Amino acid sequence: MSLVGDTCDVSVALYPGSFDPFHLGHLAVVERAAREYDKVVVAVVTNPAKTGFLTVARRVDLAQAATAHLDNVRCVSHHGLTVDAARAENADVIVRGAGKEWASEMSMAALNKHMTEIETVMIPASPETRWVSSTTIRTLANAGRYDDVKSLVPTAVYAALRDDPEDPTNRQRPH
Protein backbone atom coordinates (compact mmCIF):
# COMPACT_ATOMS: atom_id res chain seq x y z
CA MET A 1 0.00 0.00 0.00
CA SER A 2 1.22 3.46 -0.85
CA LEU A 3 0.00 6.97 -0.36
CA VAL A 4 -0.46 9.03 -3.50
CA GLY A 5 2.74 10.73 -4.53
CA ASP A 6 4.91 7.74 -3.62
CA THR A 7 4.98 6.49 -7.20
CA CYS A 8 5.57 8.51 -10.33
CA ASP A 9 6.35 5.96 -13.08
CA VAL A 10 2.84 4.54 -13.14
CA SER A 11 0.81 5.19 -16.24
CA VAL A 12 -2.58 3.48 -15.69
CA ALA A 13 -4.60 3.68 -12.48
CA LEU A 14 -7.85 1.80 -11.89
CA TYR A 15 -10.37 3.40 -9.52
CA PRO A 16 -13.01 0.73 -8.79
CA GLY A 17 -16.25 1.10 -6.89
CA SER A 18 -19.99 0.76 -7.08
CA PHE A 19 -20.40 4.56 -7.41
CA ASP A 20 -24.11 4.24 -6.58
CA PRO A 21 -24.31 7.18 -7.00
CA PHE A 22 -21.07 8.95 -7.89
CA HIS A 23 -20.48 11.82 -5.43
CA LEU A 24 -18.03 14.67 -4.83
CA GLY A 25 -15.76 12.48 -2.70
CA HIS A 26 -15.39 10.12 -5.65
CA LEU A 27 -14.75 13.06 -7.97
CA ALA A 28 -12.01 14.41 -5.68
CA VAL A 29 -10.22 11.05 -5.81
CA VAL A 30 -10.50 10.89 -9.62
CA GLU A 31 -9.21 14.44 -10.03
CA ARG A 32 -6.22 13.73 -7.79
CA ALA A 33 -5.47 10.45 -9.59
CA ALA A 34 -5.77 12.21 -12.97
CA ARG A 35 -2.99 14.59 -11.91
CA GLU A 36 -0.75 11.73 -10.78
CA TYR A 37 -1.22 9.16 -13.56
CA ASP A 38 -1.28 9.20 -17.35
CA LYS A 39 -4.62 7.35 -17.54
CA VAL A 40 -7.33 6.73 -14.97
CA VAL A 41 -10.02 4.12 -15.49
CA VAL A 42 -13.09 4.54 -13.29
CA ALA A 43 -14.53 1.02 -13.10
CA VAL A 44 -18.13 0.66 -11.97
CA VAL A 45 -17.83 -2.79 -10.46
CA THR A 46 -21.00 -4.74 -9.82
CA ASN A 47 -21.40 -6.31 -6.41
CA PRO A 48 -23.81 -9.28 -6.38
CA ALA A 49 -24.29 -8.77 -2.63
CA LYS A 50 -25.84 -5.33 -3.23
CA THR A 51 -29.06 -4.29 -4.94
CA GLY A 52 -28.30 -1.29 -7.10
CA PHE A 53 -29.96 2.08 -6.64
CA LEU A 54 -29.06 3.20 -10.18
CA THR A 55 -28.47 0.82 -13.05
CA VAL A 56 -24.85 0.04 -13.84
CA ALA A 57 -25.17 1.71 -17.26
CA ARG A 58 -26.56 4.85 -15.63
CA ARG A 59 -23.73 4.90 -13.06
CA VAL A 60 -21.16 4.68 -15.85
CA ASP A 61 -22.90 7.50 -17.76
CA LEU A 62 -23.03 9.73 -14.67
CA ALA A 63 -19.40 9.06 -13.75
CA GLN A 64 -18.44 9.91 -17.34
CA ALA A 65 -20.44 13.15 -17.21
CA ALA A 66 -18.86 14.10 -13.87
CA THR A 67 -15.34 13.48 -15.15
CA ALA A 68 -15.77 14.84 -18.70
CA HIS A 69 -13.41 17.74 -17.89
CA LEU A 70 -10.57 15.25 -17.37
CA ASP A 71 -9.09 14.16 -20.72
CA ASN A 72 -7.19 11.20 -19.25
CA VAL A 73 -10.19 9.57 -17.51
CA ARG A 74 -12.34 6.81 -18.95
CA CYS A 75 -15.35 5.18 -17.26
CA VAL A 76 -16.29 1.52 -17.76
CA SER A 77 -18.36 -1.20 -16.14
CA HIS A 78 -16.91 -4.46 -14.89
CA HIS A 79 -18.58 -7.55 -13.49
CA GLY A 80 -16.31 -9.52 -11.21
CA LEU A 81 -13.35 -8.96 -8.96
CA THR A 82 -11.42 -5.71 -8.85
CA VAL A 83 -8.18 -7.58 -9.57
CA ASP A 84 -9.72 -8.92 -12.78
CA ALA A 85 -10.74 -5.40 -13.82
CA ALA A 86 -7.19 -4.23 -13.07
CA ARG A 87 -5.74 -6.94 -15.28
CA ALA A 88 -8.27 -6.27 -18.06
CA GLU A 89 -7.36 -2.56 -18.05
CA ASN A 90 -3.60 -3.22 -17.76
CA ALA A 91 -3.58 -1.13 -14.59
CA ASP A 92 -0.31 -0.47 -12.85
CA VAL A 93 -2.05 0.52 -9.62
CA ILE A 94 -5.46 0.36 -8.00
CA VAL A 95 -6.55 3.69 -6.54
CA ARG A 96 -8.80 3.89 -3.50
CA GLY A 97 -10.09 6.76 -1.43
CA ALA A 98 -8.82 6.67 2.13
CA GLY A 99 -11.59 7.89 4.34
CA LYS A 100 -13.80 6.48 7.02
CA GLU A 101 -13.34 2.84 5.95
CA TRP A 102 -9.54 2.84 6.26
CA ALA A 103 -9.22 -0.60 7.92
CA SER A 104 -11.41 -2.27 5.32
CA GLU A 105 -9.48 -0.60 2.49
CA MET A 106 -6.15 -1.76 3.95
CA SER A 107 -7.37 -5.36 4.11
CA MET A 108 -8.60 -5.25 0.52
CA ALA A 109 -5.33 -3.65 -0.63
CA ALA A 110 -3.35 -6.47 0.96
CA LEU A 111 -5.54 -9.11 -0.69
CA ASN A 112 -5.31 -7.43 -4.11
CA LYS A 113 -1.51 -7.23 -3.79
CA HIS A 114 -1.36 -10.89 -2.78
CA MET A 115 -3.47 -11.94 -5.77
CA THR A 116 -1.90 -9.78 -8.48
CA GLU A 117 1.19 -7.92 -7.26
CA ILE A 118 -0.69 -4.74 -8.23
CA GLU A 119 -0.14 -2.04 -5.63
CA THR A 120 -3.06 -0.12 -4.14
CA VAL A 121 -2.52 3.61 -3.74
CA MET A 122 -4.65 5.33 -1.10
CA ILE A 123 -5.69 8.90 -1.80
CA PRO A 124 -6.62 10.61 1.45
CA ALA A 125 -10.14 12.04 1.50
CA SER A 126 -10.43 15.77 1.92
CA PRO A 127 -12.05 17.03 5.12
CA GLU A 128 -14.86 18.52 3.00
CA THR A 129 -15.87 15.18 1.48
CA ARG A 130 -14.63 12.59 4.00
CA TRP A 131 -18.11 12.12 5.48
CA VAL A 132 -20.00 11.94 2.17
CA SER A 133 -21.22 8.48 1.24
CA SER A 134 -23.38 6.99 -1.47
CA THR A 135 -25.53 5.47 1.28
CA THR A 136 -26.31 8.94 2.67
CA ILE A 137 -27.14 10.23 -0.81
CA ARG A 138 -29.43 7.27 -1.53
CA THR A 139 -31.22 7.81 1.79
CA LEU A 140 -31.79 11.49 1.04
CA ALA A 141 -32.89 10.81 -2.55
CA ASN A 142 -35.31 8.09 -1.46
CA ALA A 143 -36.83 10.60 0.97
CA GLY A 144 -37.22 13.13 -1.87
CA ARG A 145 -34.63 15.46 -0.32
CA TYR A 146 -32.98 16.34 -3.64
CA ASP A 147 -32.02 19.87 -2.56
CA ASP A 148 -30.04 18.36 0.34
CA VAL A 149 -28.22 16.12 -2.15
CA LYS A 150 -27.26 19.02 -4.43
CA SER A 151 -24.09 20.02 -2.57
CA LEU A 152 -22.87 16.40 -2.29
CA VAL A 153 -22.88 15.27 -5.91
CA PRO A 154 -21.75 16.50 -9.33
CA THR A 155 -24.33 18.48 -11.31
CA ALA A 156 -25.18 15.57 -13.64
CA VAL A 157 -25.92 13.27 -10.71
CA TYR A 158 -28.09 15.88 -9.01
CA ALA A 159 -30.05 16.43 -12.22
CA ALA A 160 -30.55 12.68 -12.72
CA LEU A 161 -31.78 12.16 -9.17
CA ARG A 162 -33.98 15.26 -9.13
CA ASP A 163 -35.41 15.18 -12.64
CA ASP A 164 -35.69 11.47 -13.38
CA PRO A 165 -36.33 9.64 -10.10
CA GLU A 166 -38.85 7.29 -11.74
CA ASP A 167 -37.06 6.84 -15.08
CA PRO A 168 -36.60 3.05 -15.45
CA THR A 169 -33.26 3.57 -17.22
CA ASN A 170 -32.10 5.62 -14.24
CA ARG A 171 -33.20 3.54 -11.28
CA GLN A 172 -32.64 -0.08 -10.45
CA ARG A 173 -35.67 -0.18 -8.16
CA PRO A 174 -38.48 2.16 -7.15
CA HIS A 175 -38.25 4.16 -3.92
pTM score, whole prediction: 0.83
Q: Is 54 left (phi over 0), alpha (psi -120 to 50) or beta?
A: beta
- Percent of the chain at pLDDT > 90 equals 52
Alpha carbon distance 170, 167 (integer Å)? 5
pLDDT in tens, 123-142: 887 888 888 889 999 999 98
User: What CATH number matches the domain at 2-163, 3.40.50.920, 1.20.120.550, 3.40.50.620, 3.40.50.2300?
Assistant: 3.40.50.620
Extents of the domains making up the chain: 2-163
Mean pLDDT of 9-28: 90
Q: What is the pLDDT of residue 174?
A: 41
- Largest distance between two CA atoms of the chain: 46
Mean pLDDT of 57-75: 97
Give 112's pLDDT tier (boundaries 50, 70, 90): low
